[in-house]
Amino acid sequence: MKQRINLYQAGLQPVPQRFALPTLLRSCSLVLLVIAGTAGTLQYQLQQQQLQTNKIQTAVQQKSEELANLQQALDNRQPEQSLLQQVDQLNVEIGQKQQLLQYLTADQQAQPPRYAAVLQQLSTQDLPQFWLRSFRLGKAGVEFDGVTRDAALVPQWLRQLGQSPQFSGQQFSAVSFQPLAQDYLQFRVSSSDTALAAESLR
């Protein structure tokens, strides 16, 4: 026997969640502060790592020059045991520093500063009556969640986002809106781009 369910009954309809405007504004302000703070921290860490790499490169160059001078001294006269020991020690130091330099270089190439650049890009995009509350970047795609008073601002914001190198060519496959209090709309935009690395901030 077939049964039919009336999905238009009031009890089965989704109930929109309504939030007070001050609460939404405080939440959006907090998210922006977190984004700006995290971007600054990551940028500082990248700068410190680059400084360390530059110092090691300078040290390797200095040791190489010392080794060249010692080698020239050995070529000009009969080798002394002390000079031979210095050459061996310099070779060991240069080898160690080159290994560390290769490790730092490989680490920077394996983990490019995409996350810091994304945070910086999002913190600079500012539209009136538009607030980004959260976002997620991962292998499964990218998702943005926010609040606006004008639905037309969402595609405008996405066009601005697509002009950045981090999101160039990004295709968004789903956009949804949910009404909130005082003519505000909650929006959610997502994609299925598998090229992004698994990074998230919620």
User: Do 46 and 93 share a structural domain?
Assistant: yes
Query: Does 136 fall in a domain?
Result: yes
Cα pseudo-dihedral 192, 193, 195, 201, rounded to 10: -70
pLDDT for 179-190, tens place per residue?
Answer: 887 788 899 998
Query: Does 50 fall in a domain?
Result: yes
pLDDT for 41-90, tens place per residue?
Answer: 767 777 777 777 777 777 777 777 777 776 776 666 655 666 667 777 77
Last residue of a domain, one of 57, 83, 110: 110
Structural domain of 63: 41-110
Between CA 90 and CA 61 the distance in angstroms is 12
Q: DSSP string covering 118-172, please? A: HHHHHHH---TTEEEEEEEEETTEEEEEEEES-TTHHHHHHHHHHTSGGGTT--E
User: Do 102 and 55 share a structural domain?
Assistant: yes
Between CA 6 and CA 114 the distance in angstroms is 49
Main-chain dihedrals φ then ψ at residue 100, nearest 5 degrees: -65, -40
**Predicted pLDDT of residue 187:** 92
**Predicted pLDDT of residue 188:** 92
Query: Does 188 fall in a domain?
Result: yes
Residues, the chain, total?
A: 202
Cα pseudo-dihedral 181, 182, 183, 185, rounded to 10: -40
User: Do 165 and 129 share a structural domain?
Assistant: yes
Q: Say if CB 186 and CB 132 are below 8 A apart.
A: no
Query: Does 155 fall in a domain?
Result: yes
Between CA 194 and CA 198 the distance in angstroms is 9
pTM (2 d.p.)? 0.41
Query: Does 14 fall in a domain?
Result: no
- Domain of 187: which CATH number? 3.30.1360
Last residue of a domain, one of 110, 144, 171: 110
Token code pair at residue 71 = 């080698």
Q: How many CB atoms lie within 10 A of CB 82?
A: 8
- Residue identified by tokens 């000009």 is 76
Task: Characterize the bridge pairing of strands 199-201 and 141-148.
Answer: unpaired
pLDDT for 8-45, tens place per residue?
Answer: 555 555 556 665 666 667 777 777 777 777 767 767 77
User: Do 144 and 94 share a structural domain?
Assistant: no
User: Do 180 and 130 share a structural domain?
Assistant: yes
User: Do 186 and 138 share a structural domain?
Assistant: yes
Q: Give the chain's domain count.
A: 2
Query: Does 24 fall in a domain?
Result: no
User: Do 167 and 135 share a structural domain?
Assistant: yes
Last residue of a domain, one of 56, 81, 110: 110
User: Do 58 and 106 share a structural domain?
Assistant: yes
Main-chain dihedrals φ then ψ at residue 16, nearest 5 degrees: -65, 140
